[in-house]
Amino acid sequence: MLQLKGKSAVVTGGSRGIGRSIAINLARLGASVAVNYTSNSAAAEETVKEITGSGGKAIAIAANVAQAQQANTLIESAAEQFGTVHILVNSAGITRDGLLMRMKDEEWQQVIQTNLTGVFNCTRAVSRIMLKQRWGRIVNISSIVGIKGNAGQANYCASKAGVIGFTKAAAKELGSRGITVNAIAPGYIQTDMTGKLPQSARDEMLSRVLLGRPGRPEDVAWLAAFLSSDLSSYITGQIISVDGGIVM
């Protein structure tokens, strides 16, 4: 049975989109959840309210995971509140789309720093705790564009491909201590981020989905919950697509 009673989790980017759905689902299954956000405190508090209103336990913690010290403080604060951290879901991510030849230096750096360096910062911080307790679950949110690429998203694709390589390396380093590290590669999921895309782009993506519908954040959240549980104890270093068949 899938349950997370007695576990504590940190979900970066937990105030919106896929991260929000993951935070709510982990709490529904019994975990205490730290909902991380960078600037939108209202959205984070709304996520916490939804969790606590259903009898779960959650707190909101502000931190820019692209900054190492803030990532360290995020993990330390969650461990102080909950006693330890068993689960880390690296879901924080941004886009700064544009054609390669027109992309500004800061648009490249911002995406790499948040989407890739943020994963490194938080994983490094939480690994110290997990190594001592000899148990941990780390779930990184990558993307199918990190596998197949996408025009106009060189920075985003590079960051998400980097997450895939990082996941495999971290799995090899941490596996002997009972820590699993896996990544989820979502496809076309209905979120605020994809909602900002032109309708023509959304229609084109949907035309390639074998199941004929966009994904829901919950489709990713249930896999994240499974990978965070004891049921997935023999799965590590894997990149699992949740994409309705786009990359077949």
User: Per the structure block, which two tokens stand in for 92?
Assistant: 């924080």
97: Cα separation from own chain's centroid: 20
Nearest to 142 by CA among 125, 126, 118: 118
CB neighbour class for 73 (10 Å; exposed up to 12, middle 13-18, buried from 19): middle
- Backbone dihedral angles phi then psi of residue 142, each to the nearest 5 degrees: -100, -140
Task: Name the region of 178 (left: φ>0; alpha: ψ -120 to 50; beta: rest).
Answer: left
- Contact (CB, 8 A) for 193 and 20: no
To the query of whether residue 156 is one of the catalytic residues in this protein, the response is: yes
- Contact (CB, 8 A) for 60 and 35: yes
Nearest to 91 by CA among 178, 16, 6: 16
Per-residue CA distances from 77 to 63, 120, 209 (Å): 10, 18, 41
3-state secondary structure of 56: coil
Residues identified as active-site = 156
